[in-house]
Structure 1
Amino acid sequence: MIFKLLLVDDEKPIRHKLINNTDWEKSGYQVYAAANGEAALALIKEKEINILVTDIQMPKLSGMNLIEEAKKIRPQLKIIIISGYAEFEYAQQSIRFGVNDYLLKPFRSQKLLEVVNTARDQILNKQNQASELALLQKEIADYIDHSQADPFYSWLNDEKFIEEQSLILNQLDLNAVLKRGSKDDILKIVNKIVVKVDQLALNKEKIVLFLNNLILESFKIIKEFDYPIEDLLVLIDKQHLKDIIYADFQKQKLAIFLKEFLLRLHDLLTFKPGEQKQQLIAEMKDYIAQNYQQGITLNQLAVKFNLSTGHLSNLFQEETGESFSDYLNMLRLAKAKELLKTTDNLVYQVADQLGFNDAYYFSSWFKKMVGTSPTTYRENINLF
């Protein structure tokens, strides 16, 4: 890719040095030059400049005015200021105008090349990041299309990468905190995000964009661990997210969503084998024992423990040696036998206590499991 570089200085000797003391073409740049701000602005409009290097003090249109106008035309323009010592503090203040770097006169040509290359690398990183997010969006879109997932998730494919939200994510080092930080670190992240949203005065649209890309960045992280898309989607509290997207914005709701989502994601990424798996399985078994009468399903259990159904199913099989459905069947069967032995409840009452809505289905299920009907089992209890 050829990058378009604009060099601006009203002093001809300095401008000549900027243009000719560096082999710009060899480094991948197409160079343009201007002697004043007005000429520079015209080139920025016409040539779609990527990187601007400009002096501050110039006739007709000052460097600072040039920067302000140029940013309106090309918001993603990378800007480098060259300045005399007397203007040093002025150059520092220019950061608020979106200036990426500055050089103090005199400077070596090699130093200018290094600074321009840094700006170029920032452009490339931004493009790569945007491309990566686009690929992630496509993967999520394909998953939604083929898995009949909740169409609400198609919201993740509606927006694009923007500058403000990238500033937030880049400053947080979300990747490291999620993988190696503590839960207190996660809460600090949430607070930083809410504060940053305030500082940047993001409107509703940009907050939605930020959340969109936060989720995509999170998906990128879990892919490193070979988790499927559904493992990310089950972490999302859709109601809280809908409140943020569709209702009047409230910082409190943003904080609640971020806290729940990032803590769940942290739990997923820091999940370790061994004792933690055993503890999780023990908690699942306890939950099943307390709720099996409600007709609990694998999907309900997955939502409860913030796992995808596929991941939970594999984990349960690995740790217990039997599938979730087999385990649930054996638990219900043991309870059915106990009720038939120790109570005078009618068959339909036993079925109801076990979470079966249909007594005939319960009788058929019991006969398949035991080899005889519930009534015959109870009448011949000593034979079993």
Structure 2
Amino acid sequence: MYRVLIVDDEPIHVRGLTNMIRSLRPDYYISDASNGEEAFEHIKCNHVDILFTDVKMPIIDGLQLIESTKAYNKEIKIVILSAYGYFEYAQKAIRCGAFDYILKPVNGEKVDEILKKVDGKIKEEHKGRNESTKLRIQLNNALPEYYEHNLNKLIFGVISIHEFEEMCKQFPLSDRGVVIVLQFNSHNEFNEDPGNIEVKGKIKKMIGESLNSLGKTIVFFLQDETYRVVSILEINDKIDYLKKECTEIFNDLLRSIRENFQMDVTIGVGTVYKNPFNEAKVSFKHGKTALEYGFYIGYDKAIYYDELNIIRHEQLIPDNETDLTNSVLNMDKALAIDIMEDIFDILLKDGYPKPQQLINGIAGLLKNQIKTIMIRFKSHISKKLEADININLFQCNSLKELKGLTYRIIEDLIDELAETKSCKNPIIIEEIKKYIHQHYMEDLSLDSVAKLFYFNPAYLSNLFKTSTQVNFSQYVNEIRICKAREMLKDANNKVYEISRMVGYRDAKYFIKIFKKECGMTPNEYRYFSKRE
């Protein structure tokens, strides 16, 4: 958790940026100040990791604050808030030691980008400070640092032939083997605290002892991903035997780690290589890919890459997206959820795409629904719904979690649409009445008009009657009969022709409705109209 200080003499800007950061980083602790002097006093009395400051402020401006802050604590990351007119001040601020700048008015995307950069820089510096300490601590049963470094280079495919040959003198690798990747499901289990090194050593020893029953193994942590441990396991030709026997050993290992260290681990098993120098990197890549597919299969288990049904799509576009849109516009939650379930089934019926690709596809699908609603009803979605789609959706760690959030987003979207419609109902009813006046001569029905205006027919029927005091069909008949009376004044118009011109395909039915509304037949009405 980082501590953030926001400095600006405009309260509305302070509140806006504070709310934005809280929505993006709920665990950050945020304070504020209205000028540079107040901000510097806060810095002297409190720990601050990130400072957002305006340029033009009373008493002490942003440039003076940067100089004072850097002299007092150079590790604080300073971000300048600059209006377009003060861009030259932002450039000066960068020269004075500011980390970055952001132009007003700020937006969530830019703030999120800045926070990621700052977070990365802080972690990088933190890692650098601990590096010398970590190197002095020897891991129990650890590989020499030089060789562990080269093993990392081997599996990432960047080792030279000279380095490989030198490493094999100390740790000979057989021509046949497999790379296994173990991932601690909470990535924070092994941060950069040197105090964890002893625990890491014990875990490496446990993994090595367990996997040695399958064959000779070398175990080491990834240098840039400390929540992952790699084992290069030598195997014989009996690969089927390995699969049958190793699952039980893997399960025992997972259970031991959980019981001894209270940590959950997932194991990704790569494909067999026949040349470690050229192919270990491929086996490692496949092991990491297997871990990703815990998203579908579940974690806390062993996942074999060659048993995965992986499919690759250029783009995930379901055929029934229009059906989903119509169900949302009709505010039919049950139907919308059923269609969304069908969409998931369709996208996954032939196998599993990359989890991130699936999430991107679902996010795009939901954004299309929102875009349709915003265009159709000239409305905006809530910040909560926006955060769910743009942030929370991409943080889902399993298919179950993704489905649950997707269904909730659809339900929330329909609730917001219902609220929007309730505010716009009088306007929509007027649009429907206008449409009837313009299209009375066509085959109008409640269902067709409801579909055109994105309403459930039953809902529209009740809404129309409440708003006009007559039901839909009665209103249509009144419009048609009114037009028919005008046409009957022209003797050249035959009754059966008028019937078709006002929307009745059956002349007898037209006469029946006309008599019901006017108390006489069309011909009688024409006769009396002439006398008048």
Give the alignment's TM-score, normalised by structure 2.
0.32
Larger Rg: 2
Structure holding more helix per residue:
1
Give the alignment's TM-score, normalised by structure 1.
0.42
